[in-house]
């Protein structure tokens, strides 16, 4: 960001957004394969529209996993999200499966063999970011945008807000003064709702979810609080708009507050550095900030297909660093093996932990006992501090 005083906006979309439905299905298929074979390879895309779901991609895993099983995984994912509508229903939708075996050419370049370590699953650049704006060390606009929609979803799933449908979006604009977020200047929430509710009804049902999420005194003024600004949002989800895996990569990461390498995460097993290296970069950046070595930190990693070691490791603390950046880069590489295999081993990524990442961001979540969101741990803090004593 070029100035210390500015407005910055980030958005989020709910688990019922058409693109997120697709992300959820693709990640549920990743989990299915990893639950049967931790070394399975998966790259599966999903498309959805009115009562239609299409699965496509390539896999390498147990032959016992059949197309019918993939279809059932898709139905379960849609049911769990809550779609039982005329235009999109987990039981009545048509699911077509075009998933096939992985290309031998890709497998040859990636597999470990003859003394060669396992290579990256593709070329590319990946970014990780952390800052001290929120307890989760995430940029505040996307952090609060996610939190609003999570609050709505929890109310819907619990039955406390039967008015809401699964599809929803939020957008939060914050005012920064001297580089720190101070208040919201506008909040936008669009949520699918039942036929009998007016825009005014939904506005008042949504309001407490926003007030409970934002810090006290941060709420925008009334004219800048937009709820269902078109006036009506009854038809939603894949019935209202087609969805595709991997179209919400900024929502998945830092809300535009940090660079993005361009690769999506969902539907990919952790040998794909689009996913695993982005997780590793967040893990390193978060530990740098948590250790007090910088107020904000961006890390870029780059890879070539079939090559195990990163081609570059770049660290930028935007002038907030308290230690030498070149030395910091060296120390991070000493603490964590950044080869694809090294990342998966260090973070324990070869587990069925991905369906839960498909909505409300891959970052800024709590590390879980079964290994979910392991990249959110701050277990490098002591080592980092000791390295610079």
Catalytically active residues are 17, 19-20, 45, 58, 169, 233, 241-242, 247-248, 268, 272, 274
Is residue 184 marked as binding? no
* 248 annotated as belonging to a binding site for a ligand: yes
- Known binding residue 241? Answer is yes
Residue 272 marked in a binding site: yes
User: Would you say 239 is a known binding-site residue?
Assistant: no
Residue 286 counted as an annotated binding residue: no
Q: Is 19 annotated as a binding residue?
A: yes
Was 295 annotated as part of a binding site? no
To the question of whether residue 199 is assigned a binding role by annotation, the answer is no
| Residue 296 is labelled as binding a ligand | no
Question: Is 58 marked as binding a ligand?
Answer: yes
Determine whether the annotation assigns residue 233 to a binding site: yes
The reply to whether 116 sits in an annotated binding site is no
Contact 288, 335 (CB under 8 A): no
Question: Which residues line the annotated binding site for ATP?
Answer: 17, 167-169, 232-233, 241, 247-248, 264, 268
Question: Which residues line the annotated binding site for K(+)?
Answer: 45
Question: Which residues line the annotated binding site for L-methionine?
Answer: 58, 102, 241, 272
Question: Which residues line the annotated binding site?
Answer: 17, 19, 45, 58, 102, 167-169, 232-233, 241, 247-248, 264, 268, 272
Question: Which residues line the annotated binding site for Mg(2+)?
Answer: 19
């Amino acid at each position: 960001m070029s100035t210390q005083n500015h407005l910055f906006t980030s958005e989020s979309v709910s688990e019922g957004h058409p693109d997120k439905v697709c992300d959820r299905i693709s990640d549920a298929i990743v989990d299915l394969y990893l639950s049967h074979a931790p070394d399975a390879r998966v790259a599966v895309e999903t498309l959805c529209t009115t009562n239609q779901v299409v699965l496509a991609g390539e896999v390498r895993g147990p032959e016992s996993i059949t197309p019918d099983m993939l279809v059932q995984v898709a139905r379960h994912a849609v049911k769990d999200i809550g779609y039982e509508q005329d235009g999109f229903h987990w039981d009545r939708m048509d699911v077509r499966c075009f998933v096939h075996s992985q290309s031998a050419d890709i497998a040859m370049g990636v597999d470990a063999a003859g003394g060669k370590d396992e290579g990256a699953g593709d070329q590319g650049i990946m970014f990780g970011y952390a800052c001290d704006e929120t307890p989760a060390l995430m940029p505040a606009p996307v952090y609060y945008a996610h939190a609003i929609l999570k609050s709505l979803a929890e109310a819907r799933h619990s039955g406390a807000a039967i008015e809401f449908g699964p599809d929803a979006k939020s957008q939060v604009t914050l005012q920064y003064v001297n580089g720190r977020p101070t208040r919201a200047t506008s909040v936008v929430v669009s949520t699918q709702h039942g036929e009998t509710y007016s825009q005014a009804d939904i506005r008042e049902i949504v309001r407490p979810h926003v007030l409970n999420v934002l810090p006290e005194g941060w709420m925008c003024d009334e004219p800048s609080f937009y709820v269902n600004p078109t006036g009506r949002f009854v038809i939603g989800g894949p019935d209202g708009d087609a969805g595709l895996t991997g179209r919400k990569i900024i929502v998945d990461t830092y809300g535009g507050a940090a660079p993005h390498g361009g690769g999506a995460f969902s539907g990919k097993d952790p040998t794909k550095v689009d996913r695993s290296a982005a997780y590793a970069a967040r893990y390193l950046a978060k530990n740098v900030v948590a250790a007090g070595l910088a107020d904000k930190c961006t890390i870029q990693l780059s890879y070539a297909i079939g090559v195990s070691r990163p081609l570059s490791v770049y660290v930028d603390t935007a002038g907030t660093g308290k230690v030498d950046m070149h030395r910091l880069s060296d120390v991070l590489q000493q603490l964590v093996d950044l080869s694809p295999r090294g990342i998966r081993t260090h973070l324990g990524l070869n587990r069925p932990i991905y369906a839960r990442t498909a909505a409300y961001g891959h970052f800024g979540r709590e590390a879980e006992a079964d290994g979910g969101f392991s990249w959110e741990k701050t277990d490098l803090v002591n080592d980092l501090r000791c390295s610079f004593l």
